[in-house]
Structure 1
């Protein structure tokens, strides 16, 4: 088929097409305008429902090779030493590998809350060292936030980087405060002596 035949065939095909009366075409959605007020209220309620006090704002950076350690006043030196040496039985574990900061924030808050509710005294959080990140600005980011967040949680009494056999500088032992129930049980146990 030559180009003259193609042109005449095309002309035959479009011969019955009529011109549009409107010169403008509206591509927007039809229907009533969207009321954004309910959406704004829902977003506000969601923010208020987020009881998580852990902040994702500025964090003081720690290096992948830094040891994390913290002890509230009132924690006995012997207790902290045993925690640091990994001599307490680990009752719960949280692994934050491959988590974003936002995901880690949620997980840490929920984990701490669960530990307190279940009378867990010693746990381990595996955060990774953060030394394999290609971007130097985001190295040890989760580790840095763990260092900040654990200090911000009232239920955390102390924490320390783990022993090598528990993950070393990529993990942290966490000592949670005793619940009132556990405190009463300890008191009763010691009274029977």
Structure 2
């Protein structure tokens, strides 16, 4: 039941004079600020990724004159012997001299992908002997060795015969197709 007119008058007499408050305009709600970026963590993760890719090469057991060779499991040793003797025609070549590890890795990936697309069965990679690498050993040679061993499209590789670069280059047999 609504209050009577007498009750309303009595109420106004009891509270006294009033003034109307200014209307409050509500501000639109602010968008939540972006959470802070964990820059230190991002930098740490980038460093860890770099070290996981290249740290094994910093203490390489390879020496400048060491020869490289690899034969994928399940293939005839004859394949590797023929490769080491230079019986396969080299269809393309890349020279990694004067590249950093990062540049060499990227260039090598692109080179091998292109060689596969072009149907090249045998390619040569010149990595150098690492004579100027100091105590770290031959950095690019170790990088090439590791990368080739991990690739599924590599059947075999071996250091090139002396006239084709010797222990400063490697011949690679690629899967056809």
TM-score range, shorter chain: 0.5 to 0.7
* Cα distance, 1:79 vs structure 2: 1.7
1:172 alignment partner, SS class = strand
> Counterparts in 2 of 1:20-169, with a 5 A limit?
55-59=53-57, 61=60, 62-133=62-133, 135-137=134-136, 139-169=137-167
Contact 1:55/1:149, CA 8 A, preserved across alignment: no
Work out the CA distance in 1 between the residues paired with 2:104 and 2:127. 9
1:55 alignment partner, SS class = helix
Work out the CA distance in 2 between the residues paired with 1:152 and 1:65. 23
Work out the CA distance in 2 between the residues paired with 1:120 and 1:57. 31
* Cα distance, 1:57 vs structure 2: 4.0
1:58 alignment partner, SS class = helix
* Cα distance, 1:74 vs structure 2: 2.5
Alignment match, 1:178: 176
2:83 alignment partner, SS class = helix
1:65 alignment partner, SS class = coil
Structure 2 gap ranges (5+):
1-33, 47-51
* Cα distance, 1:112 vs structure 2: 1.0
Work out the CA distance in 2 between the residues paired with 1:155 and 1:93. 17
Contact 1:69/1:158, CA 8 A, preserved across alignment: yes
CA RMSD of aligned residues (A): 2.4
Work out the CA distance in 1 between the residues paired with 2:92 and 2:150. 20
* Cα distance, 1:132 vs structure 2: 2.8
Work out the CA distance in 2 between the residues paired with 1:57 and 1:114. 27
TM-score by length of 1: 0.62
Work out the CA distance in 1 between the residues paired with 2:77 and 2:147. 22
* Residues 98-138 of structure 1: per-residue CA shift (max 9 Å, x gap): 111000000111111111111111000000000133x322x
Work out the CA distance in 2 between the residues paired with 1:89 and 1:117. 17
